[in-house]
Structure 1
Amino acid sequence: MNTTDEWLHAAAIDPSVGALRPDYRALLIVAEGLRPGPSDAFSEELLAEAEATACDPEQHPHVAAWREAFRAFGAKPKRTRPSVDALLRRAPDGLPRVDRLTDLYNAVSVAHVVPLGGEDLDHYAGPLRLTRADGTESFELMSGGEPVTENPRTGEVVWRDERGVTCRRWNWRQCVRTRLTARTTRAVFLLDALGPLDDPALEAAGRALTDALVASSPGAVTTSRLLRAAS
């Protein structure tokens, strides 16, 4: 893809995912001109606010909907939790401090109860799409400090590009190839929504993220696209 708009336009949700959860929507936000770096006072402030106001994941309908979605493709949500469920469970004892970009999206994820991931756009091979795996796709990760390649289970919901899987089990685990690093200046952020989180709430989470990114990286430019499984 030659431009951000073309890359976003090529992103797609496979009909097999729509058949599984027709209420699913993905808000994709591309941010360019980012300033990567270690956690700082601004990211710390957002994380502290998110920790102080974090909801109980056992009581929130959006978390419950994500557990249902995981079960629908054969995952066990108590073993491989939706990302926002895992973060909310860590909030009482303190959310992880990773780096300023990761900290910002984790804070928004917890504050708005929405699964949210960020990846380095410069390491994508072709457009992004959400589909159900056939089991032959490659998924790159680190294990014991060494690079390892795994395969998703057949039927698993995965984000992928032309090279392989970028995130397994919808929003459970990201690959190492596209992860944010200290050199990331162009990133794509994915906000996942099911029925209990309506469009205005999803858009509010998107605004909170873009506001935080621009505040942390003055001069950054963002572009977004909302994908719907039903269409």
Structure 2
Amino acid sequence: MTAFIIDQQVSDLGIHAIAFVVNGITVPEESSPELDHYIETAEKALLASTDPKTLKTEPEFKVFRAVHAQLGKAARSEVAAPETLLRLLHRAGRLPRINPLVDIYNLVSAQTRLAFGSHDLTTITGDVRLAMTTGAEQFVPLGATEPVAVPTGEYAYLDDTEVLCRLEVRQCEKSKATAATTDALFIVHAGPGRDPVDLADARDRLAALLTEHLGARSPIDLETLA
């Protein structure tokens, strides 16, 4: 994989995204007390500063909904990942716990209101492209064993063989980050109107946490092509 390609049709929707690779990740079997404390403290701050009744009116989430509304009935009903994370936080009192790698980027996503994708680099075939769907793509969603239909006229992240993430909503099964992941591709995705600096800041925040808690090396930005 050498490049991250954003098709013009997606750019025209006002979507912004950056992609980068983080190597040398070591995912422990159990989260450390230090990481647990950091996440729990951040969750309390998020619970105190957000209201599930008004999440959909937050500017960062309104723009996701507005873009989805342009893409057809199926997309219109989908909620962007960071809003879903905050709703889960308010419902359960904590964010989902998957493994320390996933837990870290889920937290940063909830804090920044940006959508994060994480993919085991060893599973990616060719370059990664953010493009509009034709409906003929292969997509096996996270947790599934069989492919499902992809609506025509949405945007998705794809490698040379299949959909890696539908919209910024649901990732695929084949590239999910697991406890065995040592090298990961991360994508940070924003709706229209977000300052591109926000994406770089989120990358840096994530990278710092991965370095501190999982021993990862500095991120390597992928060349972005239009």
TM-score (ref. length: structure 2): 0.87
Task: Please provide the CA RMSD for this pair.
Answer: 2.1
Show CA shifts across 1:98-141 (max 9, x none): 10000000110111111112110110011100111111111123
* Alpha-carbon shift at residue 207 of structure 1 (Å): 1.0
Q: Structure 2: which amino acid aligns with 1:73?
A: L
Q: Structure 1: which amino acid aligns with 2:141?
A: L
Query: What is the match of residue 94 of structure 2?
Result: 94
Distance across 2 between alignment mates of 1:150 and 1:76: 13
Query: What is the match of residue 155 of structure 2?
Result: 157
Matched, 1:37 2:28: yes
Query: What is the match of residue 210 of structure 1?
Result: 207
Which of 123, 145, 148 lines up with 2:146 in the alignment?
Answer: 148
Gaps of at least 5 residues in structure 1 are: 2-6
Which of 34, 41, 59 lines up with 1:49 in the alignment?
Answer: 41
* Alpha-carbon shift at residue 151 of structure 1 (Å): 2.4
Query: What is the match of residue 16 of structure 1?
Result: 9
| Partner-residue secondary structure (3-state), 2:98 | coil
| Partner-residue secondary structure (3-state), 2:85 | helix
Query: 2:27–2:181: 8 Å Cα contact kept in structure 1?
Result: yes
C-alpha change, 1:141 and 1:120, in structure 2 (3 Å) is same
Aligned positions of 1:31-180 closer than 5 A: 31-40=22-31, 41-54=33-46, 55-56=50-51, 57-75=55-73, 79-92=77-90, 93-141=93-141, 147-168=145-166, 170-180=167-177
Q: Structure 2: which amino acid aligns with 1:99?
A: N
Distance across 1 between alignment mates of 2:207 and 2:138: 31
* Alpha-carbon shift at residue 13 of structure 1 (Å): 0.7
Distance across 2 between alignment mates of 1:196 and 1:49: 29
C-alpha change, 1:42 and 1:173, in structure 2 (3 Å) is farther
* Alpha-carbon shift at residue 226 of structure 1 (Å): 7.4
TM-score (ref. length: structure 1): 0.85
Matched, 1:187 2:188: no
Distance across 2 between alignment mates of 1:12 and 1:171: 16
Query: What is the match of residue 4 of structure 1?
Result: none
Distance across 2 between alignment mates of 1:197 and 1:44: 30
Show CA shifts across 1:27-78 (max 9, x none): 2121000012345134423432332232342342111111111111125567
Gaps of at least 5 residues in structure 2 are: none
